[in-house]
Amino acid sequence: MCAKLQQRDAPELDRWESYLIAVKGRATATAARYRGLVDRLLRDVGRPFSEINREDIEAHLRRLYLAGKGESVRQGVVVAIRSLGEWSLAHGLVAANPAAGLSGPRRYRREIKVLTVAEVSRLLWGDRPGTLPKDARSLRNRCLLGVAYVAGLRASEIGPLEAEGVQWHEATSTFSVLIRRGKAAGGDVRQPLDRAVSRLLGAYLAIRPAGRYLWGRPLSRAMVRKILRRRLDEAGIAAGGRRFSPHILRHSIATHLLAAGHDIRTVQLFMRHASISTTELYLHADAERLGRALARRSPLDGKRRVPRLQQGFQALLGELQELAGPGVNKNPVL
């Protein structure tokens, strides 16, 4: 019975999934995830989409809760089914959107724990800043981590970077990378790199194997995670309660940019956040660090001047400036 129902809805779901990618600019993986959530709901309800109502959706959400599914999963169901309802209504497939006005569970926002700038430096260069790895694989892996960090890439964007998307900017002596179908960007988006990571990328480009993909082949999230964790172990960086996934590099650059004094809306644009409320999550402050800052300079102490916040990526990554020796090719031919 369920298989027949799935076959009945399949053509419309295929069109909706294509719409998410081609019109709404959703990443292929995101659209596939939404499709999977809707498929599970329809199997659970046992009726085609045109016949379900709000009560069916709420009952499905309760069953997901009882099954131990997290808030992010249940929130994803609400977003997906609401999108499908809007699309179906616009195409005359339903008389009303069954998910209209439906609000999902409020997501629990856990504390974001990031790498320090010093740890990022050790991750990329070890204990000898300015010294590049001698073997090609280590150079590739550290370059991958550096690009992922300084460009603020999402986990799904790191592995499939293409070589032809790398562009050299003579005016700033830096590279930029092209993100295909960037999330919340509505299409391709170009992300700048700083000079330090650009020099690292320049060294890698001089020895990288020919081919479409920047890293030699498209890397899965699992492969990128493995590269990150292996390098963290090599650099002696302990978790300390942090979740070591590729996304920690993105969390880290957002936190470091805000800590360096960059305007929150500028950081929002750089991070490609659809809502500034997402960027605000990085405005957390460690109580102990704040206490040390107040001990050094209280707001009530008006006699000493507040040091001016340094701006730009170069100030932010001051520990990473002396990256490569004179042998690095700073303008490789792609």
Question: Are 42 and 132 in the same domain?
Answer: no
Residue in 26, 74, 183, 251 annotated catalytic? 183
250 within a domain of the structure (yes/no): yes
Question: Are 168 and 257 in the same domain?
Answer: yes
How far is the C-alpha of 168 from the C-alpha of 177, rounded, in Å?
9
What is the Cα gyration radius of the chain? Answer: 23
How far is the C-alpha of 91 from the C-alpha of 124, rounded, in Å?
51
Length of the chain: 334
From 96, 94, 95, 52, select the one nearest 77 (Cα to Cα): 52
Q: What angle do CA 30, 31, 33 make, to 5 degrees?
A: 65
- Residue 56: give its domain's CATH number: 1.10.150
Query: Quick one: tokens of 123?
Result: 């991750």
Our count of domains for the chain comes to: 2
- Does 106 qualify as catalytic in the annotation? no
For the chain, residues with pLDDT lower than 50 are 1, 108, 285-289, 305-334
How far is the C-alpha of 281 from the C-alpha of 265, rounded, in Å?
13
Whether 165 contacts 180, CB under 8 Å? yes
Structure confidence at residue 320 (pLDDT): 44
Question: Are 82 and 122 in the same domain?
Answer: no
Residue in 26, 247, 256, 272 annotated catalytic? 247
Question: Are 126 and 211 in the same domain?
Answer: yes
Query: Quick one: tokens of 50?
Result: 């045109």
SS3 158: helix
- Does 282 qualify as catalytic in the annotation? yes
299 within a domain of the structure (yes/no): no
pLDDT in tens, 117-137: 999 999 998 887 767 888 899
Residue in 34, 149, 204, 282 annotated catalytic? 282
Question: Are 62 and 204 in the same domain?
Answer: no
Residue in 250, 251, 256, 262 annotated catalytic? 250
Q: Quote the distance between the C-alpha of residue 288 and its chain's center.
A: 28
Query: Quick one: tokens of 258?
Result: 């805000």
Residue in 60, 154, 231, 251 annotated catalytic? 154
Q: Is the dihedral of CA 161, 163, 164, 170 positive or negative?
A: positive
Query: Quick one: tokens of 41?
Result: 């709901």
Whether 319 contacts 115, CB under 8 Å? no
Tell me the residue range of the domain where 230 lies.
117-284+314-320
Structure confidence at residue 18 (pLDDT): 93
- Does 247 qualify as catalytic in the annotation? yes
> Edge to edge, what strands does the sheet with 167-169 contain?
167-169, 174-182, 187-192
Structure confidence at residue 10 (pLDDT): 86
Structure confidence at residue 241 (pLDDT): 82
How far is the C-alpha of 223 from the C-alpha of 218, rounded, in Å?
10
Longest distance between any two alpha carbons in the chain, whole Å: 78
Residue in 74, 208, 272, 273 annotated catalytic? 273
- Residue 156: give its domain's CATH number: 1.10.443.10
193 within a domain of the structure (yes/no): yes
189 within a domain of the structure (yes/no): yes
Structure confidence at residue 265 (pLDDT): 84
- Does 60 qualify as catalytic in the annotation? no
